[in-house]
Amino acid sequence: MGELDGNVIFTKSTSINKVGESLEVPQELVNLKIRQTGTITIEFRGIYDEISRIMGFFETMVDMEPITMDISSTGEIEGYFRGTNAFVEEEGPDKNPVYGYGVIFQEL
């Protein structure tokens, strides 16, 4: 994700779920794919425990629920949760399993 250091922080901002509940993810686990439609696909790759923690944060969210994202303390980006991609297991370069999960974020 460029040369920024730090974490990516997601914060729920409605009463549908826990207002203010945050998820902090080390930047090296995050890959962003910006689409022309104003959506960002956020892909997470890492060990099972990390991906499970991430899935737990997003699994109770509903379509169009407001959420913010802050990349390396550069400021909050407001948007909506638009859904998830499938949980996947892949073989890493060291032959150990690497797990993946994706979230779709719609910018305001």
Q: Mean of the pLDDT values across residues 64-87?
A: 94
Q: Is 77 within the bounds of a domain?
A: yes
Q: Does residue 53 sit within a domain?
A: yes
Starting at the earlier edge strand, list the strands of the sheet with 65-71: 22-26, 7-12, 65-71, 76-91, 97-107, 39-46, 30-34
- 2 within a domain of the structure (yes/no): no
pLDDT at 30 over 60: yes
Q: At 1, is the pLDDT very low, low, confident or very high (cuts 50, 70, 90)?
A: very low
pLDDT in tens, 37-50: 889 999 999 999 99
Q: Hunting for tokens 């899935």 — which residue is that?
A: 55
Instruction: Please state the length of the chain.
Output: 108
Rounded to two decimals, the pTM is 0.88
- Structural domain of residue 89, as residue ranges? 7-107
Give the CATH number of the domain where residue 79 resides. Answer: 2.40.30
